[in-house]
Structure 1
Amino acid sequence: MTDRNIDFSMVLASAVHDMKNSLGMLLNSIDELRNQNEPSLAGSRSFNTLQYEAERMHNDLVQLLGIYRLGENNLSAHMEEHYVPDFLGEHLARHTPLLDGLSIEHEIDAEEINGFFDADLLTGVLNNTINNAIRYTRSRIRLTARQDEDFLVIGVEDDGQGYPESMQYSGTPDFKALDFKSGSTSLGLFFASSVAKLHTEGQRTGAIRLRNGGSLGGGIFEIWLP
């Protein structure tokens, strides 16, 4: 007998969760293979592409789960204090083997400051943003952090062609305006801006900003957290 009251969105969320976990295990295996077969795999274009695409899919699934929880009003930010340079260093270290394999220079330029934010949510934002920077950069990626107008500003810069004018803005993309037919849904930006908005202090609310320029002359993604 068929149950016609199946919550299909929950079925999809469960499947996405399982796929995310499987890809996480695959990424761990890829890391182990790289460590066991250095330096022969370090410069392998096929191997680096495999790792990059697996990371990209894993990030997409993390974002989909986050957006599902947001729609279910089940996503909130749990604030804790973090030393920002160490936080950025840990995340860059995760991507360093792939960056080195692709001959992409990388650096951190962070003020010695602490910030209050949800580390898990910000991890999802940073992983996706770094992965995008890897895709569009020519040869360099830079992580930054500073205090500005009582906001913690964390940025990811690259030396690629930068964001098109239509994407340079501050605020939150409208989910209804996302274009699923074009193949560029901007789900990552929607997730990032949603995470930013979950960070509030008094009347101040977090936001994202996209612009071009900086020391590398390419695209700059910034998340502003109060």
Structure 2
Amino acid sequence: MSMKADDNQLPFADVIGASVNDMRNSLGQVLYKLTGISEELDTQESKLGLQVVEYEVTRMQNVMNQLHGLYLIETDSLTIQMQEVYVFELIDDILAGMNGLLANKKVEVELRGEDICWYLDPYLMTNVLNIAILNAVRYTNDKICITLVHSEKGLSISIDDNGQGYPDVVLERFNNVKAGMSIEEVSSQNIGWLFCEKIASLHKNQGNAGETILDNESVISGGRLQVLLP
């Protein structure tokens, strides 16, 4: 017997939104368990294997967070909860959750600048910085530098890596996403950039909106993703 669509059925977008939320919660539990398991492994081969799994689970958790956030933005149901936050404290919490991944990949993270208290949504910015740092982990050779700068224009959070830099085609895709152009090649990377730009732009002050910038102007000779908040 076939089923016909009717007005009582759940909207497909709502079903996807609820499913994504459920999946991201499950991935969070898996990542928590993996962190505990990594401490019990005693062979290098096992640790390297778990490193790959942990990286992929973290990446998928970020994708789920992005999809859920974009769904909430699309349905005009995203709640922004602005509050004063010490940004380095926020970043320290994020890095603490990546300790195993950073150690296994032998990536050093340096924080530059003074801790700055800023008015932002800590939950949403945690997701944005998670994406930015994980992106740097993917492209770096062995070092990431996170810099805070306060100027008349607002707060700049720069995540730099010492990799080979972004190819021109990647920079072009980023700028197309930022400009609101149609995305010809849908990927988790493009979705992540779109999410970061959307969340940054929701942070407004005196008529100015936040934004993101991707370039190869890294202070440690690689790629850089900047988050600018007014």
So what's the TM-score if we normalise by structure 2? 0.89
Which residue of structure 2 lines up, in the alignment, with residue 202 of structure 1? 206
Distance 1:38 1:149 in 2: 50
Answer yes or no: is the 8 Å Cα contact 2:200–2:210 preserved in 1: yes
Question: What SS does the corresponding residue of 2:84 show, helix, strand or coil?
Answer: strand
Whether 1:179 and 2:218 are equivalent positions in the alignment is no
Deviations 1:45-80 (A, max 9, x none): 211000000000000000001000111011242111
Distance 2:60 2:191 in 1: 13
Q: Which one-letter code corresponds to 1:107 in the other structure?
A: E
Question: What SS does the corresponding residue of 2:225 show, helix, strand or coil?
Answer: strand
Number of residues paired by the alignment?
A: 224
Q: Give the superposition deviation at 1:39.
A: 5.4
Q: Give the superposition deviation at 1:215.
A: 2.3
Query: What residue ranges of structure 1 are gaps of 5+ in the alignment?
Result: none
Identity of aligned residues (%): 31
- Stretch deviating more after TM superposition (150-159 or 51-60): 150-159
Which residue of structure 2 lines up, in the alignment, with residue 20 of structure 1? 24
Answer yes or no: is the 8 Å Cα contact 2:38–2:47 preserved in 1: no
Which residue of structure 2 lines up, in the alignment, with residue 74 of structure 1? 77
Answer yes or no: is the 8 Å Cα contact 2:72–2:78 preserved in 1: yes
Which residue of structure 2 lines up, in the alignment, with residue 107 of structure 1? 110
- Stretch deviating more after TM superposition (56-65 or 149-158): 149-158
Going from structure 1 to structure 2, the CA distance change for 1:184 and 1:98 (only over 3 Å counts) comes to closer
Distance 2:189 2:140 in 1: 20
Out of 17, 24, 30, the residue aligned to residue 34 of structure 2 is 30
Distance 1:141 1:97 in 2: 15
Q: Give the superposition deviation at 1:2.
A: 4.2
Out of 186, 190, 197, the residue aligned to residue 194 of structure 2 is 190
Q: Give the superposition deviation at 1:148.
A: 2.3
Which residue of structure 2 lines up, in the alignment, with residue 90 of structure 1? 93
Distance 1:151 1:206 in 2: 9
Q: Give the superposition deviation at 1:112.
A: 2.8
- Stretch deviating more after TM superposition (141-150 or 204-213): 141-150
Which residue of structure 1 lines up, in the alignment, with residue 53 of structure 2? 50
Question: How much is the aligned-residue C-alpha RMSD, in angstroms?
Answer: 2.2
Query: What residue ranges of structure 2 are gaps of 5+ in the alignment?
Result: none
Distance 2:162 2:119 in 1: 29
Q: Give the superposition deviation at 1:149.
A: 2.5
Answer yes or no: is the 8 Å Cα contact 1:89–1:108 preserved in 2: no
Answer yes or no: is the 8 Å Cα contact 2:94–2:130 preserved in 1: yes
Q: Give the superposition deviation at 1:3.
A: 4.3
